[in-house]
Chains A and B, each alone.
Chain A
Amino acid sequence: MRKGLIQATDSFERIVHWSLAVSCLILCLSGLGMMFHSLNFLGEPFGGLKSLKYIHNITALFFILALFFTVSMWWKEAGVFVFPEDLDWIKCAGGYLWHVDKVPEVGKYNPGQKMFFLVVAAGGVAMIFSGLIMLFPLHIPAMIVRLMYLIHAAGFVAIFAFFFIHLYLGTVGSPGSLPAMLTGWVSRPWLKKQHAKWLKEMEEHGTLVVYGEEKSSSHGHHG
């Protein structure tokens, strides 16, 4: 580990994130296996489609748990927009889509990430709710159950699409991001570029953790 890296996430956050990500991925894949006859083969390694159903249902439990922690953990940081800077950021799409001279500085999470979080949170809740009703439909009016299938499908469309955006931006689309969720340590330049305000806040509040330095240091310097 290079000295001077800044801690962006702690291990709990990373565990929750990956629990959510992995369970979501499994749910998507097992769901796909049940959604398209041409993808029924996804169940084969597990002994058939029925196993895929069980995998989907059991994974959903992990997903529910992960989503619970995700939401409770990030709700305040990622669930609330801060004005006016978030609006400004949105106006220029965070500089992702066209050249922007000056991207407004944002805190720990930019509005794009916040939106992603909200989609995941709301979509996840919708998926859990609709999924539970789909799992126990027998005493619920068919009209409602049918609606749940629609919601589950719509949720899937959104989550599946966002999943790829997240994947892209978390890797090649924004080099330097990935370590934040792998090791938890990011470079100062990356942090400054992506979350300058947060860096400042941490520096001001003395909460900045720099690898190889005392935590209490108020002004970290690149070594």
Chain B
Amino acid sequence: MAEYVKLIDVSKCTGCRGCQLACKQWNAQPAKQTENHGTYQNPPDLQANTWTLIRFQEIEEKDGKLKWLFRKDGCMHCTDAACVKVCPSGALYVTDIGTVGLNRDLCIGCKECISACPFDIPRYDRKTDKVYKCDLCLSRIKADLIPACAKACPTGAITFGEKGKMIEKAYARAKELGGDASVYGDKFVGGTHVMYVLDEKPGVYEHLPKSPSVPLSVILWKDIMKPLSLLAAGGVIAGSFLHYIIHGPKLPDEETGQEQKGGE
């Protein structure tokens, strides 16, 4: 199957949060008691029951110009997905449309993906001892529907389509916007399947890494330590065998001989 991409054009997002609710509705995620903490952003962060979230951010520029940024946060569906790399059980997997699926039956709640994710996306639920995140509405896509958030978006800020076309669309839009506008997502972690058109520089947005990558430690661990552990174990076993046949076991000397040899 072709690869698909969800494109989030933040310049068109009005922060209405229809996507946030549609996500909960389609995925049957319950609401939890919240409080107002002095912001519209609620729940305050992604949660096991909140897989996408509009982040509200106020910026006062030096010239007094005010900006209010709305960014829909959620799984970026990396091609080189660190979470898939570290997932011990195969619960996280790359789907045939290039997104990162989550088979929750397999999840063992080890939380390794949580620390591996360069975007800080997966969330752990203590009650079910499992991890949750957006699966880009794989069930909808398989039924020829677009993701719930894209369906709900009134302004066309969230669109969904074939990867090449969406990348093209993203660049066209960024060019149209001009200024600091840029495309975010195709240049790192092998290309994400959720991309942004940002109207500010990427570094401006809270909780959005400027140049995300699969963490070095994850590469060291999964690509070096894993084989190394086998190599080391194998090496030791082989070495022991060689030692036995070449050097032989270390036998105690005959009582008397040893005494003579070892005498003072």
Interface residues, chain A, CB within 8 Å of chain B? 34-37, 40, 48-50, 52-53, 95-98, 102, 105, 134-135, 137-138, 142-143, 145-147, 149-150, 153-154, 156-158, 160-162, 164-165, 167-168, 172-176, 187-190, 192-194, 196, 222
Contact = CB atoms under 8 A, between A and B. Distances in A.
B240 interface: yes
A35 to B, nearest CB: 6
A150 B108 contact: no
A131 to B, nearest CB: 11
A176 to B, nearest CB: 6
What secondary structure prevails in chain A residues at the interface with B?
A: helix
A147 B259 contact: no
A145 B115 contact: yes
Contact of B225 (A37, A102, A157, A161): A157
Contact of B253 (A50, A147, A193): A193
B229 interface: yes
Interface centre among A97, A137, A176, A189, by most chain B C-beta atoms within 10 angstroms, is A189
Nearest to A161: B232
19 contacts: A35-B88, A35-B226, A40-B88, A96-B250, A142-B115, A143-B215, A146-B115, A149-B112, A149-B115, A150-B221, A157-B228, A161-B235, A162-B236, A165-B240, A168-B244, A172-B249, A174-B249, A175-B250, A176-B251
Contacts of A149: 86, 112, 115-116, 217-218, 221
What secondary structure prevails in chain B residues at the interface with A?
A: helix
Given A34-B88, A153-B225, A175-B250, 13 more contacts: A34-B89, A36-B226, A40-B88, A40-B90, A53-B109, A135-B111, A137-B111, A149-B217, A154-B225, A157-B228, A176-B252, A192-B258, A222-B255
